[in-house]
Structures are given as structure tokens and as C-alpha cells.
Amino acid sequence: MHQLTRPLFSAYLARLAQLNGVHADDVTKTFTVAPSVQQKLETKMQESSDFLGRINMVGVTEQQGAKLGLGLSGPAASRTDTSQADRQTRDITTLDQRGYICTKTDSDTHIGYAKLDAWAKFPDFQTRVANAILQRQALDIMCIGFNGTSIAANTNLAQNPLLQDVNKGWLQHLREDAPENVMASGSTPGKVKIGSAAGTDYKNLDAAVYDAITLLDPWFQQDPGLVAILGRKLLHDKYFPLVNTNNAPTETLAADVVISQKRVGGLQAASVPYFPDNAILITTFDNLSRYYQTGGRRRMVIENPKRDRIENFESSNDAYVIEDNGRAALIEKIEIANA
């Protein structure tokens, strides 16, 4: 590390200690991130990504418990003959009794001396170091949310490049908790064929989406907030004259939700990073949640001169939650077959 970089890095560690209420020397030991700092980190992650800003990122006290019920359930309108019975109230929040479990997720990163020395030339040195770590964590949340299928004791990035073994994401919870809302097989086992060729299940994406909407609870089928999130291999210029091309990013992750001007099956079509190529998810953005345990974030920053770098060891207890499975439907294993 260059001699001009050293005091900047030391000031970064001192600031980190001050924010978390620990002694400067304790930053190089595992410490609990202060709840107020944790909340600010989560807020910055949401602000760095259009998608994360649309879903719920909520702190919970307990590591496991019942869903928070952030969405609305079925209708509330009714009538009672009060000469015969009392009027009964209804809980209009999400009624799903399935709970959540926040699982420890490590986000261990390093930054080489050479890069730190390059960043030392800029007045926002501390911000650059913090943002580099924060942005990767935000991307990982999306990657796990759409691709996570299991919780391995020892994860393997080479075998699971989309973080499939880090945590169970939204799609996996839908597969396990509401398989009746998942279309993964048609006339050909293990495939949903769409296209103009003979023997396909649907002639176009519109027909497939219209059919999948019927899997939702009746009171959600005309929800104005419903969107169809499509995989990249299903995108076509027909659907994506981009709406948000003029939304220049103010943060580094930019406007990562691409919204189509045209509709698919009557729903607004959207593209989100890391969403599976051959799948369509029908839901509302606010039906997707990530819970993190308040006070459950641990951190340690050390210098490793043997590898010419600083190392950041950080962990958070997270859960990926669909607030109401009745407001979500998935079509996957789609194969396009045109004549």
C-alpha cells in the first residue's frame, strides 16, 4: 500500500469504528454492525438498484417467524344481517401462514493495494471503498432471489455461478410452497413449448401469460400492479421499445428494471437482472420481499499484506419471501418452437 494511501485507509477504518460505536482497533475483529448503520446500508442498496427499490427490504427482530403480511389479501366488502348474526371483521393483510427463516449469508470481499492506490487520488476515497462492496451485495441479492434453490453448508461458486446454493430464492419458494402456481411441463414432459410450430402448448407468449394469470387467486387476477417478468431469451424488440432510456442512473447499478411499452398477455412486461432465461414470473413487485435480521450483520476488515490487499468479512441473516403465493405464478422451462 502506497504511503499516501495508508492514512486514507486508516481514516476509513476509524470512521467505520465511529459509526458502529466500537474502538478503532476492534474493526479488525468481528463486530456487530450497529442497527442504525445496518439500516443505512440497506437503504443505500435499495437506492442503488431500481429493482430493489420496488420490492420490500425489511428488517426483522427474530431470525425466524411468521411472514409480515406486507401485501393485501382478499376482498373486505361484505354484508351481514345483524338481526341474525354479528358483523365479522377480516384480516386484509396477507394470510399465508408459512413462516420465514433468515439464513446466514457471507459476503467476503477484498480490494487489492493497486486499486486502493488508484482510488487514493480521488476525494471520495471512503465512498468508493464502501460502494464497491455495497454494489456487489446488491447484485447478489437479485441473483440469489431469482436463482437460489438450496442452502449448502459449503457453497461452491464454480458449480453454482448464479449462487444457487446460497439461499432459497423467490422462485424456489413458489415451487415448494405453491406448486399449483407453477407451470413447468406441457404436452412434452419437462417443457412448456411456445410458438407457431405444430404441437406447441401455446402459440405465443401472450396466450401463455393469459393462461398463467388464471393460477392466481381470483381477487388478484385483475390487480393493476401485476407485471410479467420475462427471461432474456424471451425478449424481443416487439416487446421492448424501452420506456426508461432517458432515466440516467444517479448510482452505479442504474435503472436495472427494463419496462416495455407494449404488454404481454395484457400485463406490462419487465426485464430484471439475473432472472432465468426461459421463465416468466407473474406477480407484483411489492409481493417480493427480502427480510434481514436487525442486529444480525457481522463485519471485520483486515489488511492482508501476504496477498497485497485488504479483506472485508461480512455476513447478514437473510430470507427471501413471497408475501402471498396466491399473487404469484411462474412459467418455466419454456422452449420457443416456431415453424
Quickly tell me which residue has 456487489 as its cell. Answer: 136
CA distance 152 to 167: 8
Specify the pLDDT at position 212: 97
Per-residue pLDDT of the chain (339 residues; tens, 9 = 90+): 888 899 999 999 999 899 888 888 889 999 898 888 899 889 988 888 889 999 999 999 999 888 877 655 556 676 666 777 776 766 565 555 678 999 999 999 999 999 999 999 999 998 988 888 898 999 999 999 999 999 999 999 999 999 999 999 999 999 999 999 999 999 999 999 998 889 899 999 999 999 999 999 999 999 999 999 998 888 764 555 544 444 444 443 456 787 777 789 999 999 999 999 999 999 999 999 999 999 999 999 999 999 999 999 999 999 999 999 999 999 999 998 887
Specify the pLDDT at position 267: 94
Specify the pLDDT at position 338: 85
Each residue's pLDDT tens digit, 184-226: 999 999 999 998 889 899 999 999 999 999 999 999 999 999 9
Specify the pLDDT at position 70: 61
- CA-CA distances (angstroms) from residue 53 to 57, 162, 227, 296? 8, 21, 16, 22
How many DSSP H helices and E strands does the chain contain?
7, 17
DSSP character for 292? E
Specify the pLDDT at position 234: 86
Structural domain spans, the chain: 5-72+94-166+289-322, 179-287+325-336
Cell of 50: 431500481
With vertex at residue 141, the alpha carbon angle to CA 32 and CA 243, rounded to the nearest 5 degrees, is 135
Q: Report the predicted TM-score, pTM, of the whole model to 2 decimal places.
A: 0.86
Q: Which fold has domain 179-287+325-336?
A: capsid protein of prophage fold (3.30.1930)
Specify the pLDDT at position 243: 46
CA distance 52 to 141: 9
Nearest residue to 89 via CA among 76, 103, 107, 72: 76
Largest Cα–Cα separation, the chain: 85
Quickly tell me which residue has 371483521 as its cell. Answer: 89
Q: Does domain 5-72+94-166+289-322 have CATH number 3.30.2400?
A: yes
Specify the pLDDT at position 153: 93
Residues 6+ apart with CB under 8 A from 298: 30, 31, 32, 33, 313, 314, 315
The phi and psi torsions of 35 (rounded to 5 degrees) equal -55, -40
Q: In the chain, what are the helix, strand and coil shares in percent, each to the nearest 5?
A: 30, 25, 45
Specify the pLDDT at position 246: 46
DSSP character for 232? G
